[in-house]
């Protein structure tokens, strides 16, 4: 029996460091065995990804549909990236359309309603995203399917100080010009795109307040410059990572890595880190938080958006939101202060330094919690929805409703 055709549209799975690229990679890897999958969208740089055909430079993804005639269109990205969707719906009425959308602001825009209407079902990775949509829109089913973590890669229960010593010994023997050592230091890790919403300036200001009287702290910054094509215009990140002059007094306590890293290096960075610091002001999920939890890293994250759903509430430190402001499409964005970053770092540092039993219990709580976030679980739920859509009986299954909305 021929497999049904599924066109996956979003950030390419070839874009490893992007969170959306990691979502694409996890889902495409798991769906390709059950459907004839092809990939289009942003960051498609070659014609092959693990045996799956990729349309290079295919931001005009809608032009592929009449040529290939897929049975299912699976959209995985921010809602606003798909303005052509209503026309696609009108032209291809038998096409099953699933939107797996990340919602990182509150409230949603009126301009998104026609995009939602064009979908047969809307999937979101967080309850927060579902509730934000439900506040203003309810004409299509909205189902929560959390994203996951590659447990076989990231789930590591280790003694971090031992790992730090091994890494430091390798560094000591290397020809690196500026050598920074992790052993015996409270190591803070940040990884992410070079975007203003990540609050990098606030993070560095807060770290400066925290680190000014300490010699046993280290901040690792793993940055990836954000550059993309938005509606035909090239957009660069609106934060200049090269301009670190205002924080020159603390750069001897900051290890800066710029660009992309592979899985092995990323895991190593998690393993030498004690806390993940992310004062981001709007996230639709938070893959890096899950990966950190799986490697024994305690999250220090904003008490806002989907972040709140990830760590165990007794095994993290929340950055308080001081206020909100209006961003694009009239969405709310949280405001986090450098003082809040400093206070949370201080709290974590005191426990790490003086109460090892409490620290290890926090790690255990997150180790247990992260097991509930599996890409296999995520992909199986999506397959169930796809198959039911193809049979035109998605919501006949009452157990499915209970599972996703309970």
Does one domain contain both 285 and 364? yes
- Greater model confidence, 334 or 27: 27
Hey, which residues does 219 pair with through a beta bridge?
A: 188, 254
Residue 401 lies in a domain: no
**HSE (side-chain half, CA atoms, 13 Å) at 270:** 25
Q: Quickly list DSSP for 371-385.
A: TT-BHHHHHHHHHHH
DSSP lists the bridge partners of residue 30 as: none
CA angle 348, 352, 294 (to 5 degrees): 80
d(CA 126, CA 287): 12
pLDDT at 239 over 70: no
8 Å CB contact between 244 and 251? yes
* Residue 221 belongs to a domain: yes
pLDDT attached to residue 329: 52
| Same domain assignment for residues 13 and 127 | yes
The first and second tokens of residue 10, run together, are 């979003």
Find tokens 């032209």 and name the residue: 91
- First-last CA distance in the chain: 35
Q: Any idea which of 42-56, 312-326, 374-388 has the lowest mean pLDDT? A: 312-326
Torsion of CA 305, 151, 222, 339, to 10 degrees: 40
Residue 405 lies in a domain: no
What is the radius of gyration, based on Cα positions, of the chain? 22
Reduced 3-state DSSP string for 199-230? CHHHHHHHHHHHHCCCCCEEEEEEEECCEEEE
- Give the pLDDT band of residue 130 (cuts 50, 70, 90): very high
Q: Does residue 406 sit within a domain? A: no
- DSSP class per residue in 64-109: THHHH--SEEEEEEEGGG-TTHHHHHHH-TT-EEEEEEE--SBS--
The predicted pLDDT at position 270 comes to: 95
Give residue for tokens 């880190």: 273
The DSSP output letter for 149 is: B
Model confidence pLDDT, tens digit, residues 81-102: 999 999 999 999 999 999 999 9
Q: What is the mean pLDDT of residues 310-320?
A: 95
- Report how many domains make up the chain: 2
Least confident of 38-42, 49-53, 170-174, 221-225: 221-225
**pLDDT at position 405:** 45
What element of type H or E holds 153? helix 151-154
Q: Is 128 in contact with 308 (CB distance < 8 Å)?
A: yes
- Count of residues for the chain? 406
pLDDT band at 406 (very low <50, low <70, confident <90, very high): very low
pLDDT of residue 331: 60
- The answer to whether position 61 is within a domain reads yes
Q: Kindly state whether residues 380 and 324 are assigned to the same domain.
A: no
Q: Angle 345-312-352 (CA atoms, 0-180°, nearest 5)?
A: 35
Q: Given this model, what pLDDT does residue 197 score?
A: 75
Cβ atoms of 8 and 38 closer than 8 Å:
yes
| pLDDT of residue 394 exceeding 80 | no
pLDDT at 19: 80
pLDDT tops 70 at residue 7? yes
Q: Residue 182 and residue 272: Cα distance in Å, rounded? A: 7
Same domain, 57 and 198: no
Tell me: do 320 and 345 sit in the same domain. yes
CB atoms within 10 A of CB 138: 10
The residue ranking higher by pLDDT, 402 or 377, is 377
CATH number of the CATH domain containing 279:
3.40.50.2000
**pLDDT for res 277:** 97
pTM: 0.88
* Pair (205, 255) in one structural domain: yes
**Residues 134 and 35 placed together within one structural domain of the fold:** yes
Q: Are 290 and 345 in contact (CB under 8 A)?
A: no
- Provide the pLDDT for residue 399: 40
What distance in Å separates the CA atoms of residue 246 and residue 342, rounded to the nearest whole number?
A: 17
Q: Which of the two residues, 362 and 261, has the higher pLDDT score?
A: 362
Residues 273 and 290 in one domain: yes
- Residues 42 and 30: their CA atoms lie apart, in Å, by 20
**pLDDT beyond 50 at 173:** yes
Between CA 253 and CA 239 the distance in angstroms is 21
For residue 145, what are the CA distances in angstroms to 126, 242, 392?
Answer: 7, 38, 20
Bridge partners of 72, per DSSP, are 6, 96
Tell me whether residue 39 is in a domain.
Answer: yes
The domain of 90 spans 5-148+374-394
Query: For residue 235, is pLDDT > 80?
Result: no
The whole-angstrom distance between residue 395's C-alpha and the CA centroid of its chain comes to 29
Query: Could you read off the pLDDT of 133-163 as tens digits, one per residue?
Result: 998 999 999 999 999 999 999 999 999 999 9
Beta carbons within 10 angstroms of residue 328's beta carbon: 9
> Residue 34, SS3?
coil
Residue 126 and residue 159 share a domain: no
Give the pLDDT band (50/70/90) at residue 232: very low
229 and 90 together in one domain? no
Beta-strand relationship, 52-54 and 48-49: antiparallel
Rounded to the nearest integer, the mean pLDDT of the chain is 87
Averaged over 269-293, what is the pLDDT? 92
Q: Which residues contact 229 (CB under 8 A, 6 or more apart)?
A: 42, 59, 235
Together in a domain, 48 and 131:
yes
pLDDT digits (tens, 9 = 90+) for 15-53: 766 788 889 999 999 999 999 999 999 888 889 999 999
């Amino acid at each position: 029996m021929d497999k049904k055709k599924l066109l996956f549209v979003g950030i390419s799975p070839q874009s490893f460091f992007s969170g959306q690229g990691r979502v694409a990679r996890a889902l495409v890897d798991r769906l390709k065995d059950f459907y004839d999958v092809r990939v289009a969208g942003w960051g498609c740089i070659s014609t092959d990804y693990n045996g799956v055909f990729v349309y290079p430079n295919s931001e005009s993804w809608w032009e592929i549909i009449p040529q290939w005639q897929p049975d299912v269109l699976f959209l995985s990205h921010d809602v606003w990236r798909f303005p052509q969707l209503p026309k696609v719906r009108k032209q291809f009425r038998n096409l099953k359309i699933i939107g797996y959308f990340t919602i990182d602001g509150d409230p949603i825009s009126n301009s998104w309603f026609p995009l939602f209407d064009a979908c047969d079902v809307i999937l979101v990775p967080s309850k927060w995203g579902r509730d934000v949509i439900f506040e203003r829109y309810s004409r299509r089913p909205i189902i929560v399917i959390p994203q996951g973590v590659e447990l076989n890669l990231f789930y590591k229960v280790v003694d971090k100080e031992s790992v730090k010593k091994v890494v430091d010994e390798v560094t000591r023997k290397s020809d690196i010009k500026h050598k920074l050592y992790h052993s015996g230091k409270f190591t803070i890790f940040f990884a992410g795109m070079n975007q203003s919403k990540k609050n990098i300036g606030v993070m560095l200001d807060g770290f400066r307040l925290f680190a000014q009287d300490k010699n046993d702290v280290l901040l690792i910054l793993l940055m990836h410059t954000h550059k993309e094509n938005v509606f035909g215009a090239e957009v660069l990140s609106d934060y200049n990572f090269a301009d670190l002059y205002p924080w020159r007094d603390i750069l001897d306590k900051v290890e800066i890595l710029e660009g992309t890293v592979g899985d092995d290096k990323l895991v190593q960075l998690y393993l030498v880190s004690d806390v993940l610091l992310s004062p981001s002001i709007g996230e639709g999920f938070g893959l890096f938080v899950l990966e950190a939890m799986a490697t024994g890293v305690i999250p220090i994250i904003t008490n806002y958006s989907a972040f709140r759903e990830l760590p165990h509430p007794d095994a993290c430190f929340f950055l308080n939101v001081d206020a909100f402001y209006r961003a694009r499409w009239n969405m709310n964005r949280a405001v986090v202060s450098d003082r809040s970053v400093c206070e949370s770092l201080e709290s974590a540092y005191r426990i790490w330094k003086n109460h090892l039993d409490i620290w290890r219990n926090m790690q255990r709580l997150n180790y247990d919690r992260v097991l509930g976030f599996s890409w296999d679980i995520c992909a199986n739920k999506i397959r169930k929805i796809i198959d039911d859509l193809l049979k035109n009986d998605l919501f006949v299954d009452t157990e499915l409703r209970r599972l996703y909305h309970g």
